[in-house]
Amino acid sequence: MTRTAGRPARLAVVGGGVAGALLAWRAAGSPGGASVDLFTDGAGERADASRVSGGLVRGFEPTAASAGPAAESLAEIRGSDTLRAWSRYRETGALYVLPGRTAVREPVDVVEAHLPGSAEVVGGEWVSRAFPFRELPQDAVAVVERHAGHIAPHALRAAALRAAAEAGATVRTPAVAAVTRDPGVRTADGRTLRYDRVVVAAGAWTPGLLARSGVAAAGLRTKHIQYSLCRTRLAGLGSFVDENSGLYGRPWADGTFLLGLPSDRWGVDPDGVSPDAGLARRLADSAARVFGTEVAVGRTVAASDCYHDPAGLQLRSLGGGLHTFTGGSGGAAKTVVAASRKAAAALSD
Ligand SMILES: Cc1cc2nc3c(=O)[nH]c(=O)nc-3n(C[C@H](O)[C@H](O)[C@H](O)COP(=O)(O)OP(=O)(O)OC[C@H]3O[C@@H](n4cnc5c(N)ncnc54)[C@H](O)[C@@H]3O)c2cc1C
C-alpha cells in the first residue's frame, strides 16, 4: 500500500457488513498494519445481507475455482478457536445434489485438499435411501460433506468489528455519500477525507454508491434473495442444495427448516426489498413435491446482495487507489474468511 515514510498507510473501508468488518480487522491487525477507518451507516441496525444471511457454509461448489475459496474459508474457521467462536460455526453436514453426469471430481479434490475426509461422491439412488428426497433423477450425482454446516455472519461481523477497534481501527458512523479515485471519501455530513486506499465493501449498496460517485460499477449488480422458515419434517437432512429443483436449505430450530429457491429479480433497490409472495408459493410447491411431505411456510425473509460475473468476493481495483470488496453473489458468508485475508494481503503489498 502506498505510504508516506514514517506513518502507516491510511485505508478507508466503506461498509460494515461481514466483508467490510473482516477486511478492517485483517488490515488493522496485520504486522505493520494500516491505519483503518471503517465507515458504517448503522451496520447491524438495518437488515443487510450479513444480518439475515442463512449462513450455510461448505467447501463444495460445482467448479474447482469456486470450491477453492469456500473450502479454504471453512478450513480456516475449523482450525481457529477464535473464528469458530466468533462465527458460531455448527457442523451439520451437507448434501449437494447435481444433475446426472455432472463431473465433480475436480472440485471434490479441491475440498479434500483443504478438508481431508470431508467430501464423498454418491449417486442419486443412495441419496433417496439416506435422505427424504422423493423426486430425484436416479442418475443424479451428489456430494456428501461431513464438515459443512452453518455460521452466524451477523455475529462474525460484530466480533470482527470489536477486534478491529481493539487493533486500532476507527469505526465512523456517518454514511458515505460518495467516493473518489484520489482516493477519498465524502461523508453525508459534508466532509471530504483523503486516504492511500479506499475499499467499497457496501454489499448491495455498492453499485448505487459508485453510480452516485460517477464511477463505473464494473460489472456489479444487485439481486433479490429470499428464504422462508418452514414447518416440515426432513429427518436426517442437514444443509443441502438440490440443483435439480433449485431448492436449498438447512435446519433452523425445533421442527423448522430454512428453505429457499433462487429469485430472478435483478437490479433491485437494496432499501426497497420486500418478500415475493409468488416465490414463497413456488417454494412451498417445490418442497412438497421434492420431499413428498407437507411444508407450511412461516416467516419469509427477503434482502439483496451484490453479484459479479464471475462470482466471488474479492478485491477488485477501480483504478487510482479505489477498490471494491464485494460481488460474493449470494455466497460471501462461506468465503469471507479467506477472501478478507487475501484482500488485506493484497492491500499491504
Ligand atoms: C437472504 C440471504 C441469505 C443468504 N444466505 C447465505 C448463505 O446461506 N451462505 C452464504 O455463504 N451466503 C449467503 N448469503 C450471502 C451473504 O450473506 C452475503 O454475500 C454477505 O453477507 C455480504 O456481506 P457484505 O458485507 O458484502 O454486505 P452487507 O452485509 O449487505 O453489508 C453492507 C453494509 O454496507 C453498509 N453501507 C451501505 N451503503 C453505505 C454507505 N454509503 N456508507 C456506509 N455504509 C454503507 C450497509 O448498511 C451494510 O451494513 C445470503 C444473503 C442473503 C441476502
Whole-number Cα distances in Å, 97 to 60, 123, 255, 274? 11, 9, 23, 29
Range of the domain at 188: 8-55+152-219+309-349
Return the bridge partners of 308, or none.
220
In a domain, 255, yes or no: no
What is the DSSP track for 318-333?
EETTEEEEE-BTT-GG
Q: Is residue 143 assigned to a domain? A: no
303 assigned to some structural domain: no
Q: What is the mean pLDDT of the chain?
A: 93
What CATH code is carried by the domain that includes residue 316? Answer: 3.50.50.60
Domain count, the chain: 1
Q: How far apart are the CA of 155 and the centre of ligand 1, in A?
A: 13
| Contacts (Cβ under 8 Å, ≥6 apart) of 277 | none
What burial class does residue 216 get, using C-beta atoms within 10 Å of its C-beta: 0-12 exposed, 13-18 middle, 19+ buried?
exposed
Domain presence at residue 161: yes
- 175 domain residue, yes or no: yes
Sign of CA dihedral 108, 110, 111, 115: positive
The residues that bridge with 90 in the sheet, in sequence order, are: 150
CA 52, CA 81: separation in Å to the nearest integer? 24
Taking the chain (349 residues) in consecutive chunks of 10 residues, what is each chunk's mean pLDDT? 65 97 94 89 78 97 97 98 98 95 95 97 92 87 96 97 96 94 93 97 97 92 98 90 96 91 97 96 95 93 96 95 97 98 93
Cis-peptide, bond into residue 310, ω within 30° of zero: yes
Residue 310 Cα, ligand 1 centroid: separation in angstroms? 18
- pLDDT score at 4: 56
Ligand 1 proximity of 61 Cβ (cutoff 6 Å):
no
Torsion angle of C-alpha atoms 337, 343, 345, 349, degrees rounded to 10: 180
For ligand 1, mutation pick of 13, 41, 72 (most atoms within 8 Å of CB)? 41
Look at residue 66 and tell me if it is in a domain. no
